[in-house]
Amino acid sequence: MNSFEFKCETRIIFGAGTECRVGREIKKCGGRRVLIVYGGGSVKRSGLLSRVENCLKEEGVDWLELGGVEPNPKLSLVHRGIELGRRERVDFVLAVGGGSAIDTAKAIALGIPDTGEVWDFFDHVREPEKILPVATILTLPATGSEASRATVITKEDGQVKKGLNFPILRPVFSILNPELTYTLPPYQTASGCVDILMHTLERFFSRGSGNELTDLIAEAVIRTILKNAPIALENPSDYQARSEIMWAGTVSHCELTGLGLPGDWASHQIEHELSTAYGVAHGAGLAAVWGSWARYAMGEGMDRFTKYARDVWGIRTGDDDGDARCAIEKTEEFFRSIGMPVSIPELIGRPVSEEEIKTLAHKCTFLGKRTIGNLVVMREPEIEAVYRMANHHERIGGFYVRE
Ligand code: NZQ
Ligand code: ZN
């Protein structure tokens, strides 16, 4: 077994009606003046925000609101939140919503006790040492940000989307009530399920093996999504299916699915450029590129691809290459079955030009300053190749082909 370190400080409070505990839990953590961060209005329409505010009132906790977080959240709103939080002497940040609200809350909580520019942390100019406590009430199982040590923000100047990973970014607690996900549009449910799968697959397809329990946990998360995504899409108020998806989302990105493995993460980096350039949902972007990445990379990780084929999909064609290809196809069939794209044209409604591909790949390497991936280390030419495959990806006679 490969060595690892694991600590996930986030307390998970899971179950129906649990959002009503938020005031008490914040008080226990010492919070007295809370900044509530939320998105474009779904939490107002559902009545969740006013329920949360009533719970805070009952416990005598003060609050201020900062709404308007957009999907693929922006640095300018983070700056506004930091200013507001400092001025109003906020001592706790509560995100109510999906990954974008949570990531904005995390970045604001980093910036309030700091004296410099918060983007410095994303540029790795400085390391964060302090953060205000952050809690979340999750409404969209997808990013795992409710227990992850990451925040992902887009700086508008230059359209740069960057993730920041530090243990202090894990929330102190997260409330997961599956009922809060009943109002999700089908596209967001499906996109979230893809993201959950991908947080597992990105870790699964890496160099290294031997951590059997880690692999079994990963496979269980994958099976959970394959089973429950169609049920939740068919019946949005199915508590059992929504619960399984919600918990899978947290498990998939709290590190448990990849302990002892380095992880690959190329598909995520390749996708981040698509959501930055075209404003698409992160999970849908992953679905559009993963199959192309997988076909490009499978030669380097045949043992992992055949394990995935056999253990998750029960595929046995009698030949490693056949098993791996078949598993990639099955995964893409699953994406299609839940309404997700498996190519760039399906994602954005048109193919991208060769010039766009070059720009996407250049930005993906942070203008030539990094490589991505671990199973296959990718520079600009390799990243361009994956975008090209995803751009011309079509099914002919039962087989996906590269052009
Ligand atoms: O903004 P509102 O009105 O709330 O509507 C949102 C938004 O339009 C809606 N929504 C959320 N919960 C709802 C709901 N609508 C109805 N009912 C509900 N219960 O869904 C839309 C998308 O929300 P968003 O928060 O943007 O989606 P998601 O959770 O997928 O977050 C995506 C962001 O997280 C980043 C992504 O790159 C992207 O920027 N990621 C963050 C990670 C992390 N911090 O660990 C890891 C991920 O890999 C990912 O990169
Ligand atoms: Zn993701």
pLDDT digits (tens, 9 = 90+) for 236-277: 999 999 999 999 999 999 999 999 999 999 999 999 999 999
pLDDT higher than threshold 80 for residue 38: yes
Whether 141 is in the pocket of ligand 1, judged by its Cβ within 6 Å, is no
Whether 177 is in the pocket of ligand 1, judged by its Cβ within 6 Å, is no
Q: State in Å: Cα 282 to ligand 1 middle.
A: 8
**CA atoms of 140 and 135, how far apart (whole Å):** 15
Strands (E), 224-326: none
**CA atoms of 170 and 150, how far apart (whole Å):** 7
Whether 249 is in the pocket of ligand 1, judged by its Cβ within 6 Å, is no
Which atom of ligand 1 is least distant from the CA of 183?
17
pLDDT higher than threshold 90 for residue 394: no
Cβ distance 257 to 217 under 8 Å? yes
* Torsion sign (Cα): 226, 229, 235, 237: positive
Give the pLDDT confidence score for residue 207 in this predicted structure: 87
Q: State in Å: Cα 183 to ligand 1 middle.
A: 14
Whether 181 is in the pocket of ligand 1, judged by its Cβ within 6 Å, is yes
Whether 41 is in the pocket of ligand 1, judged by its Cβ within 6 Å, is yes
pLDDT tens digit string along 147-183? 999 999 999 999 999 999 999 999 999 999 999 999 9
pLDDT higher than threshold 60 for residue 127: yes
Which atom of ligand 1 is least distant from the CA of 272?
37
pLDDT tens digit string along 72-85? 999 999 999 999 99
Task: List CB contacts of 398: < 8 A, sequence separation 6 or more.
Answer: none
Which atom of ligand 1 is least distant from the CA of 148?
45
Cβ distance 201 to 257 under 8 Å? no
Task: List CB contacts of 54: < 8 A, sequence separation 6 or more.
Answer: none
Q: Between the CA of residue 81 and those of 61, 123, 201, what are the distances in Å?
A: 19, 20, 34
**CA atoms of 208 and 56, how far apart (whole Å):** 47
Average pLDDT, integer, range 20-30: 97
Q: Return the structure tokens found at 340.
A: 């997700």
Which atom of ligand 1 is least distant from the CA of 69?
1
Q: Return the structure tokens found at 377.
A: 């280390």
Burial class of 96 by CB neighbour count within 10 A (0 to 12, 13 to 18, 19+): buried
**CA atoms of 304 and 264, how far apart (whole Å):** 12
With residue 394 as reference, give the H or E element that holds it: strand 394-396
- Output the CA angle 381-384-386, nearest 5 degrees: 115
Q: Return the structure tokens found at 314.
A: 């029960």
Average pLDDT, integer, range 115-132: 97
**CA atoms of 324 and 336, how far apart (whole Å):** 19
Q: How confident is the model at residue 402 (pLDDT cuts 50, 70, 90)?
A: very low
Q: How confident is the model at residue 210 (pLDDT cuts 50, 70, 90)?
A: confident
pLDDT tens digit string along 47-73? 999 999 999 999 999 999 999 999 999
pLDDT higher than threshold 90 for residue 392: no
Residue type, 162: K
pLDDT higher than threshold 80 for residue 397: no
Q: Could you give the percent of the chain with pLDDT greater than 90? A: 96
Average pLDDT, integer, range 218-233: 98
Whether 183 is in the pocket of ligand 1, judged by its Cβ within 6 Å, is yes
Q: Return the structure tokens found at 88.
A: 């109003």
Mean pLDDT across the chain: 95
